[in-house]
Amino acid sequence: MAKRMSKFWRAVLLFGKGMEKEEKDVAFSQFLSQLCLFFHTKGFQFRHSGDSFRFVKVEGEFTWSFELGISHHPDSFWIKPAAGIRHDQIERIFHRFSGAPETVQKGSATVSWGRALEKRIPKPNSFQVERMGQTQKAVVFTEHFFTKWVEQFFSENSDLQAISNTFNIGRAILRAEYYTDWFDLLGRAIISGKLAKRTDYDILKSEYRRAFEMRQSSRPLSSFDALIEMLDNEA
């Protein structure tokens, strides 16, 4: 899986190779301006911090985020996509036990794009912007990329029940190959199952606890037990 993921997570846009800095800056500014118009029609707001350019849509407990991350190179830069869905209630409960810094807590995603795409890895062709005249084609390429791959992911996880299904249907979470920490996955999975009032919650709770004991995590089993206890008593 790591090899397959690396093919996908290469740069989707290679921007500015062979261009003078001033021309490159103007082209990128035009690229962003046109993308802002596109995302505005879909209800997304533009947010910029450092080398991160994000389009964010917030509705109630949900935040859908599509990010263009910049990776600099001597004569060009790569633009790599990332996307995530945050459910505020799940994240508030999860971070009572995560031990994550406050800055991480505020920006964490409940369902990451990489996790959701494990079973269907798209491999779009990269697009290179080597002159000003190619900027519009780069915009079209990015819009198509979002519409074909990311928007579907957002639509499939647009309510609490859908998020719970992403984690829990067929115990899919236990077969995960791409992950950072099993507490991150199993913790959010069991929270979503409880909040969605799944009829198999008690079975999930038992199976996930056994699975957690056998997998690697930065958090101890006691943290997972404390989370389960809180869900049983409060949520």
The residue type at 155: S
pLDDT grade for 164, boundaries at 50, 70 and 90: very high
132 and 227 housed in the same domain: no
Residue 121 confidence class, pLDDT cut points 50, 70, 90? very low
Cβ-defined contacts of 23-32 (< 8 Å, 24+): 23/131, 23/132, 24/76, 26/132, 27/129, 27/132, 27/135, 30/135, 31/129, 31/135, 31/138, 31/139, 31/142
Computed over every residue of the chain, the mean pLDDT equals 84
For the chain, the domain total comes to 2
Lowest mean pLDDT among 49-53, 73-77, 130-134, 189-193: 73-77
Residue 218 CA neighbour count, 13 Å, CB half: 9
164/149: higher pLDDT: 164
Q: Of 72-76, 165-169, 203-207, 219-223, which range is least confident?
A: 72-76
Structure tokens at 126: 């990269």
pLDDT in tens, 25-64: 888 899 999 999 999 999 999 998 888 899 999 999 999 9
What is the pLDDT, as a whole number, of residue 192? 96
The answer to whether residues 139 and 177 belong to one domain is no
Are residue 99 and residue 59 in the same domain, yes or no? Answer: yes
Does residue 70 sit in helix, strand or coil? strand
Q: Report d(CA 87, CA 195) in Å as an integer.
A: 11
Domain that holds residue 214: 160-233
226 versus 16: which is more confidently predicted?
226
Do 112 and 173 share a structural domain? no
3-class secondary structure, 210: helix
My answer on whether 135 and 79 are in the same domain is yes
Q: Are residues 117 and 208 in the same domain?
A: no
Q: What is the pTM of this model?
A: 0.85
Please, what sign has the CA dihedral across residues 23, 29, 30, 32?
positive
Q: Give me the mean pLDDT over the 11-32 stretch.
A: 81
Asked whether the beta carbons of 188 and 225 are under 8 A apart, the reply is: no
* DSSP string over 176-194: --S-S-HHHHHHHHHHHHH
